[in-house]
Structure 1
């Protein structure tokens, strides 16, 4: 960060690849006439607290279409090792000149730019400063997930993490070490509610729910937020049963 700029450069990095284990190719699957990845990137591009948006994918030829789609949407692409996602993020952050990094994943086509902005603002305004802050994924619907951390913490993790799980799960090296990094309390919904729902896409049942939500919301309100999704699900409570049996893979 140069002396001339008081505000740190905030770069959102999303990770995507075609070889996901449970639903291969999911990020390019269609919903409401567009690939999931296009919905995801377009929604993030509306987040006013971000200075840049980057897609981190792999060097595999299978991910050429992922890189091409991002490029067509004007999103810069960083390509790195498939297994070393942490190294990929560090490379993308360096390419983009990030001071602060926002981590999201491309299997979240309903991600809410306003909610991402809330986490970024809380991180930037924290006193004393933080190294890491996230949405509380135990209280928000899965699929809105966002983590914010300092570039310094990311570089420290990339240099020091040796466990395969900590290379694959970008922030694990940070949030597992509260004695070393300043970890903020996860941000919960402002009304204190708990939402036990899945809006990320890991399996075909998840995709079906997301397709229905996008189909219901986009024609009337292209800039919809997460609470609009909640409203639709209150009108169609049976939709939540579509993926009710799908389990979340998590390291937390």
Structure 2
């Protein structure tokens, strides 16, 4: 089934984050945030090629250098058209199956990736696209989207709205009549997508992630999502570090355009950082 399929995981990364510039190269213990995320993705049970997809702008030379130091393939493409960047990277590395994972998920649970891939391959040929995001139930920062190369190519040919180009996959889940789509819920039966934030956009997120790594990594470098939740239950003060940003995501800017996302799946930013 999957063993003769070329699985390519594309990690989109850039230095020019508007809210926290250079966040992907900020230190987590003795390595960069991006290196720690790669480390976690290398723990999945599937054989997959990892590709860091960055832009052609000069400041992203640093991303390419980091990729080389990590011995991870790097593709450089359009800064703002992420759909084209993903498509060209997938094409270059002859992908049959493409995973889109953003670089702001350094706490991603490898088992989350495995479970989405399990559903994709256990239903071999049935789905064009499988994710754990529509709707999301895992804590924010466990974002996994899997698609066939044919699906990605179809989107690349058809998508035209700026939002679709910037976020790569909205055209798929906004047009369920055109694609066979499946969603994987967190097996706990809980929905922590709006209450727990394991992703990074703000300084408080970085402080939260750093604390989690300091607490859990020395005990078990392969710590799980459940380990993080247990830590937060034992030490709720850690949860408070970035609590003001829980539920804040990019959907909030496009509620007037999105048909398959509602206002309950995002929050407005109440306290804007200067």
TM-score class, shorter-chain normalisation, is over 0.9
Name the CA distance, whole Å, in 2 between partners of 1:116 and 1:50. 12
Please state how far the C-alpha of 1:31 moved relative to its aligned partner: 1.8
Mapped pair 1:167 → 2:161: no
Matched-pair contact (CA < 8 Å) for 2:83–2:166: yes
Matched-pair contact (CA < 8 Å) for 1:17–1:25: yes
Name the CA distance, whole Å, in 1 between partners of 2:6 and 2:121. 11
The match for 1:45 is 42
Name the CA distance, whole Å, in 1 between partners of 2:161 and 2:47. 31
- Select 1:31's aligned residue among 28, 38, 46: 28
Please state how far the C-alpha of 1:130 moved relative to its aligned partner: 0.3
Give the number of aligned pairs: 248
Please state how far the C-alpha of 1:6 moved relative to its aligned partner: 6.8
The match for 1:211 is 210
Q: Which runs of 4+ in 1 moved over 4 A?
A: none
Distance 1:21 1:8, change over 3 A: same
Please, what TM-score do these two structures have when normalized by structure 2?
0.87
Matched-pair contact (CA < 8 Å) for 1:49–1:121: no
Please, what TM-score do these two structures have when normalized by structure 1?
0.94
Q: CA RMSD in A?
A: 1.6
SS state of the match for residue 99, structure 2?
A: strand
The match for 1:68 is 65
Name the CA distance, whole Å, in 1 between partners of 2:98 and 2:30. 30
- Select 1:96's aligned residue among 82, 93, 100: 93
The match for 1:106 is 103
CA deviation string 1:101-160 (max 9, x = no partner)? 111011110111121011011111126610111114631100111111111010111112
Q: Which runs of 5+ in 1 are unaligned?
A: none
Matched-pair contact (CA < 8 Å) for 2:10–2:51: yes
